[in-house]
Structure 1
């Protein structure tokens, strides 16, 4: 049964509007200033003062500029914090362009492999359509960065600095996605024509060679050996010669990436807590580390983040940054805008409902570098962003604890802070996680 909107309905709606107290003044305010400015709650600015009981000294923020590499910046920031402190190198950065190059290249191969796996499916199948919508993009997740580092290592930013296309990636993405879709046509045709495995592999190798050339022209040649030369904060000169990206990572970061676990908070019925999940067709390095999410309730989720911060370690996290946030002020707070009051309308949805109905998912990765604990509970969080120092408090943001509850979906925690029971879950389910569909919201890539 369907019901059209009648003239009687319209008359009633207009009458209801006119009967709303202050409607005329509110209408003028919203028309002239927009929704957010009119609904802005000044009490939020007072509550979100950037003062924290636990705060790490992490230096100046980085700037991803006009690219979607937040997940890389956030992960490399967590790693550079230790280098800055141990080797006394203020504002040191690792090369985001180096990992960007290898991510683009590996994503190309990952795409080709998925095209071949689905070549027997029609173009209008959901999986093929999902693949072709975005063959590759800038975004990613923690495990994807770990896969790149395990294979290629990392280098200082001075060894492979930014280029036009790393800082402003839209042209490169457009060209590379055109190329990948064109290659998909060829690969699917080869399969349809029953070409041999050798012929298909030869065609793919030619495609990858072309991809490599595109990336080399736009991002530069990734170094294989280099000298690490720097002057520390005490003005002492240092040089470390003949390093490879792998040896640099082992010497200067010295992390075992297997020790770190992606933790999610997805309170939806299809994802029971205390279980491990992966997402089909989510990744970048074929044969490399796969995504593994441990889903936990919000109280345990937050407690682990606090525990790691108390130990002096920053925390990579993924969130829906555009929700209830003011980019310029650097405030993320569920009370920053009173839109319900402004429109006399209830906009409330639960976190699970927002995930299930497409209202929210992870869009951006940042770093937790502090938290304010009052009466044993967190009230607000210090956030290191990667949008430069012209926003927020010199690039740092403040997130209320209520915002954390509603819009933070992922944190990366050292396994040593997990209970023995949770460590057992990871061990027992790592090789047999629950597989989620490619379009599941927990497969969203941080790309803001």
Structure 2
């Protein structure tokens, strides 16, 4: 017997004796039977809820910025764009004196989709020598043109394509229900990937390949425009403020409108992440291969930072009057009925009698947690020593849920499930500011830090 074969475990099928023993043990355990009686009648969350923790997480905040209505992304994955546009509108609403002003989220998604199609097709051309089942190419083919994104990707969109008021490119059926549109776009681009790959491998020259790519993008543009409408290139802007005063702003391009009605310099911001894996040391920058949307746009860049520093800078930013964009794993320990997060809000281990406790590092490493949602911090509750106890969050799921669309996060949940925040660079300590310009560690395209919020 070779040494390698001795290391291979023998395959073992479930036996009838094992299954019988487990069944008998379960039926003989009154705690397990009571749990079954409860969970087969009501949601596991109703059984596992830590009621005292819920009561101990009130909505009041020592610092609260929001006095506007929460937006609604509908049945789409545009949370990252909503969160960023909510940050921008927190600035614009002051200039306009309009409390519930919104930028067009449909406009932002339109440009992200077509730019991302071009980004994908460029990757396909560069990888034309690989087979479709190559790990990288198959990953890109499977994950193309989703709704999610990261901070630097929206910076690229806003700087290139600007922003417009929501009324000038309002929501459509497809902007809030993206599944059918995304399916059609995916089919087009995967078909196009084959055509481009075949063209390169058959000896087509660069000009012929470029012409084919342009035709694919023209078809992408046609589908997008049918679903989402025509984005304005120039428009007249006038409005009535909340005191009923009339203002005539003039004529703007989307880029001019962004410059005129926001003072936020998007390039002043850096994305801090909490990646607890020791092979990615704190104080180093990270990027993810093949993650982006605009060719030659802002590369995705993270600065890995300890969670205590992330929380301190976030709290200081809110206390100084500015909301904070952040990304998290939204579902664990979330009581959707009231919009509350706390690390110990549900005791699933107690209900099951099975230890489900894990660390943040292990959840990332073994695929149990990643960034799934982006929102905006609009408040923080600081104790008398200035330590954060809980956080107020603007979600983008409409005003009918939670506290008129706003949620409450216990500080314990921040530690476990918040992965990234975006803050001004000048808020960082000197050693972190210096680290921004270092060459980043390049993560694989499929790394969990490449998950799209």
Q: Secondary structure at the match of 1:227?
A: strand
Give per-residue Cα distances to partners, 1:196-232, cap 9 Å, x unaligned: 0000001111111111111111111111111122111
Note the C-alpha offset of 1:75: 0.3
Where does 1:7-406 land on structure 2 (aligned, <5 Å)?
7-374=16-383, 375-406=385-416
**Contact 1:134–1:177 (CA under 8 A) maintained in structure 2:** no
Q: Secondary structure at the match of 1:32?
A: coil
Give per-residue Cα distances to partners, 1:140-161, cap 9 Å, x unaligned: 1111000001111111111111
**Cross-structure match for 2:423:** 413
Q: Secondary structure at the match of 2:168?
A: coil
Structure 1, unpaired ranges of 5+: none
Give per-residue Cα distances to partners, 1:345-384, cap 9 Å, x unaligned: 1101100000000000000000001111124321111000
**Contact 2:32–2:352 (CA under 8 A) maintained in structure 1:** no
| CA–CA distance in structure 2, aligned partners of residues 35 and 328 of structure 1 | 14
**Contact 2:61–2:391 (CA under 8 A) maintained in structure 1:** yes
| CA–CA distance in structure 1, aligned partners of residues 179 and 285 of structure 2 | 34
One of 432, 444, 453 as aligned partner of 1:422: 432
TM-score, normalising length from structure 1? 0.96
Give per-residue Cα distances to partners, 1:25-62, cap 9 Å, x unaligned: 22111111132222122113211211111111341100
Q: Aligned in 2, Cα 1:216/1:10: closer, same or farther, shift over 3 Å? A: closer
**Contact 1:283–1:291 (CA under 8 A) maintained in structure 2:** yes
Note the C-alpha offset of 1:21: 4.0
Note the C-alpha offset of 1:15: 4.0
| CA–CA distance in structure 2, aligned partners of residues 42 and 190 of structure 1 | 62
| CA–CA distance in structure 2, aligned partners of residues 77 and 58 of structure 1 | 12
| CA–CA distance in structure 1, aligned partners of residues 303 and 409 of structure 2 | 23
**Contact 2:66–2:379 (CA under 8 A) maintained in structure 1:** no
Task: Report which stretch shifted further, 389-398 or 250-259.
Answer: 250-259
| CA–CA distance in structure 1, aligned partners of residues 98 and 206 of structure 2 | 51
Give per-residue Cα distances to partners, 1:372-422, cap 9 Å, x unaligned: 112432111100000001111100011111111111001001111101111
**Contact 2:49–2:346 (CA under 8 A) maintained in structure 1:** yes
Q: Aligned in 2, Cα 1:218/1:11: closer, same or farther, shift over 3 Å? A: closer
Note the C-alpha offset of 1:326: 2.0
Q: Aligned in 2, Cα 1:142/1:58: closer, same or farther, shift over 3 Å? A: farther
Task: Report which stretch shifted further, 309-318 or 370-379.
Answer: 370-379
Note the C-alpha offset of 1:114: 0.7
Q: Secondary structure at the match of 1:116?
A: helix
| CA–CA distance in structure 2, aligned partners of residues 139 and 300 of structure 1 | 26
**Structure 1 stretches (4+) deviating beyond 4 angstroms?**
none
Note the C-alpha offset of 1:266: 0.8
TM-score, normalising length from structure 2? 0.95
Q: Secondary structure at the match of 1:164?
A: coil
Note the C-alpha offset of 1:119: 0.8
Structure 2, unpaired ranges of 5+: 1-8
Aligned length: 443
